[in-house]
Structure 1
Amino acid sequence: MSELKCLPQDAVIWGLDILANSVARLPSYGIERPIVFTAEPLVPLYESHIRPGLDQPRGLITDLPAHVPDFAVNAALDVALNAGARSIVALGGGSVLDAAKGVSHFHEQRTGQYLPIAAFPTTLSGSEFSHYFGVTETTGAQKFKRGYAVRATTPRVVVIDPVLVEGTPRPLLLSSAIKGLDHAVEGMRRVERDHPHAILAASGVERFLSILERWPSGLDSAAALAAGKITHGDLLQLQLAAWQCYFYPASVIYGLSHRIGHILGGTYGLPHSVTSCITLGPVIRACADFYGDKLTVFAPGKDRAIAAGVLADRIEAVVRTLELPNKIGAFDLPASELAAVAALLEMNYPDEVADLGANASEKLADLLRSIW
């Protein structure tokens, strides 16, 4: 029996120069008296393109660190409660979206009501389409990024416009695209090749890679646009690729690449978007037997025996060409910590580690050494 689980998302609005019209429509989706979550560098974008059309905004929160530490979520929740906010507008990437979902969830724990979210994503990871979020617990002996899956926190409306991503710093924008690819690939863990996720994710992966493979070197998006190296249409295609790669998150589940990233990020502080640049290709190879023929959807015309390698090669080539980090050793994490990383993975994510097959513990240790 196959099953498709849908999330309570009312609308996705996309196109060129649609922000003003979309913001004006937010009240029809229950986005009234919103508290705004964003990052400090995005405040000018908020003031110019979103603030003018908002219905009675109740304040602006920018103190939202990466990996969503619990103290930041608690502080934002207090602000939202004191301001009498009835909804959240989230302008930013995965950390901003995770913080918004976390506050909505804990607002319900406190008051019995979720705060509906409108998402204006400025990266390409696709968090705006899911009900998953992580909050890093900081009070224990060791920090740990706790994952949640709360359907009611799914952003009620998502707005996609190239203006939202044209100012995103190059490393963040492009590494978040690799995170988007990670959603597509690992989404295949629990579905078959005829599942809607597989069909759409295959389109999203090809859309991503075909644009990233010709991306100009050394230029942020704004400079590349000014030089005519890319177009706003290219940016929109990347945004749509992120959506296709993560179209049915209620029907799929994260795999080992994501879980390694959660430990490297939440516990050791590596940038969240960068972790998939390091882990995705090697994990595809290491888990090829587990995926079987499923990865042929991403390598048309290739048989099962080589599909994983073809896909991993292509992703790793893009990571190198875009000059994104591809080793843990590029960050302040000594190799002596790899055993602790492995222990956290085996303790918290045994199913994902089991994707490695027989002798999974040994293979995990080898995998971590290979990406250090």
Structure 2
Amino acid sequence: MNQLKCLPQEEIVWGHDILEEVAASLGDRGIRRPITFTVGFLESLHRDILKPGIRDGVGSFIDLPPHVPDFAVRDGLQACLTRDAGSIVALGGGSVLDAAKAVSYEHFKQTGRYLPIAAFPTTLSGSEFSHYFGVTETDGPQKFKRSYAVRETAPKIVAIDPRLVIDTPRALLLSSAIKGIDHAVEGMRRVGVDHPHAILAARGVERFLAVLEKWPPQLETREAIARGLVSADDLLQLQLGAWQCYFYPASVIYGLSHRIGHILGGTFGLPHSMTSCITLAPVIRACADAYGDKFGIFASGTGHATAATSLANRIAHVVDALALPSRLAAFDFDRAKLSEVAALLKQNYPAEVGDLGDHAGQKLDALLESMW
């Protein structure tokens, strides 16, 4: 049986120079008494662009470390309760958005009411379009990033404007685009090539790669635009690509690349957006048989193995051309820890590991070794 599951998002707005208008209309869109969740380096964007238009804001909360540790969720919830916040404006990347979702969920558990979220995303992973979020549990003997899927936490409003990403650090912005491609590719795990996810994801991946393949080396985005090497419209194309790659997240189940990323990030502290740069291409090659002919929507080829190889090679080439990390050794990751990564994957994500086929455990060990 085919299924298309939709999330309770009310509005996505996009375009150039729309932020002030959207901020001023948040109250009319049901975002009242909002607290702004953001991080330090985005405070000026909040202060200069969003805050002047938010008529009834109750302040901001910026103590949001990467990977959404459980203590940050508790502190964020307390800030909302203390200030009697009625909603959340989430200005930031995936960690900020995940924290907003987690706090909205905890608010519901304590008060019976979810806090509606207005998302202003500054990266390209696409978290703003989903109901998925991860929280890193820190109280046990080993940190672990636990995944949640709560429909009511999907942001009610999403605003897309190139000004949101123009000052995002280069490595973070471009690696988050690879994470966005990861959503498109692994979203094929349980759907067919005629599913709406597949159709939109294929377009989204092409949008992403068309821009990333011409992206200049080394330059930060503002300088690249000033030199005429990329344009503000290229940034908008990347943002729209993120949306298309993650258009129907409630209809899809993600796979081994994401799960390896959760372990590497939540337990071992690697930057979340960077993990797909390391994992995606090798996982595509290793899991080609499990996906069958599905990768053909992303890459031309006469058979599924050819299509998988073509797609993996194209992604790997972009990662290398952008000078993004493609090996765990780039983060001084302790090679001896690979056995711990494998054990956590086998324990917590047996179905995703099973995509490797016969003797999956041995293949996982070899796959992780190849990523080092």
Interval of TM-score (by shorter of Structure 1 and Structure 2): over 0.9
- Alignment deviations for residues 42-91 of structure 1 (CA, whole Å, 9 cap, x no partner): 01111111001113111111110000000011011101100000000000
Contact 1:90 1:97 in 2 (8 A): yes
Per-residue deviation at 1:337? 0.8
SS in structure 2 opposite 1:225?
Answer: helix
Q: 2-side partners of 1:329 and 1:231: how far apart?
A: 34
How many residue pairs were aligned? Answer: 372
Structure-1 residue corresponding to 2:166: 166
1:48 and 1:251 map into 2 onto residues whose CA distance is: 38
Is 75-84 or 296-305 further displaced after alignment?
A: 296-305
Cross-structure match for 2:36: 36
| Residue matched to 1:114 | 114
Output the TM-score relative to the length of structure 1: 0.99
**Shift, 1:303, TM fit:** 3.0
Amino acid at match of 2:205: V
- Provide Cα deviations, 1:228-247, integer angstroms capped at 9, x if missing partner: 11110000000000000000
1:63 alignment counterpart: 63
Q: Which residue of 2 aligns with 1:124?
A: 124
- In structure 2, the partner of 1:353 is 353
CA distance in structure 2 between the partners assigned to 1:263 and 1:217 by the alignment: 30
- Give 2:8's aligned amino acid: P
Q: Secondary structure at the match of 1:215?
A: coil
Partners in 1 of 2:328 and 2:340 — Cα distance? 14
Q: What's the CA shift for 1:99?
A: 0.4
- 1:324 maps to 324
Could you list the structure 1 runs, at least 4 aligned residues long, displaced by more than 6 angstroms after superposition.
none
Distance 1:143 1:55 in 2: 40
DSSP-derived class of the 1:292 partner: helix
Deviation digits for residues 194-250 of structure 1, max 9, x if unmatched?
000000000000110011000011111111111111110000000000000000000
Q: Which amino acid aligns with 2:6?
A: C
1:8 and 2:8 aligned = yes
Q: Separation in 2 of the partners of 1:54 and 1:149?
A: 29
Instruction: State how far apart, in whole Å, the 1-side matches of 2:9 and 2:300 are.
Output: 31
Q: Distance in 1 between matches of 2:86 and 2:302?
A: 51
Q: Provide the residue aligned with 1:265 in structure 2.
A: 265
Residues 92-143 of structure 1 deviation map (CA, whole Å, 9 limit, x = unaligned): 0000000000000000011000000000000000000000000000000000
Q: Counterpart in 1 of 2:297?
A: 297
Q: How does 1:1-372 map to 2 (within 5 A)?
A: 1-300=1-300, 302-372=302-372
- Equivalent residues of 1:34, 1:55 under 8 A apart: no
Q: Residues 69 and 138 of structure 2 are in contact (CA less than 8 Å); yes or no, is this contact kept in structure 1?
A: yes
Instruction: Work out the CA distance in 2 between the residues paired with 1:265 and 1:355.
Output: 21
| Distance in 2 between residues matched to 1:81 and 1:2, nearest whole Å | 42
CA distance in 2, matches of 1:201, 1:47: 35
RMSD: 0.8
Give the distance between the partners of 1:244 and 1:201, measured in 2 at CA.
5
1:11 partner letter: E
Amino acid at match of 1:258: H
Q: Note the C-alpha offset of 1:28.
A: 2.6
Q: Which amino acid aligns with 1:28?
A: D
332-341 or 72-81: bigger deviation: 332-341
Amino acid at match of 1:173: L
CA distance in 2, matches of 1:12, 1:284: 31
How far has the Cα of 1:301 moved from its partner? 5.2
Could you say what secondary structure the match of 1:315 adopts?
Answer: helix
Which whole-Å CA distance do the structure 2 matches of 1:274 and 1:55 have between them?
A: 37
Structure-2-length-normalised TM-score: 0.99
Give, in whole Å, the separation in 1 of the partners of 2:370 and 2:204. Answer: 28
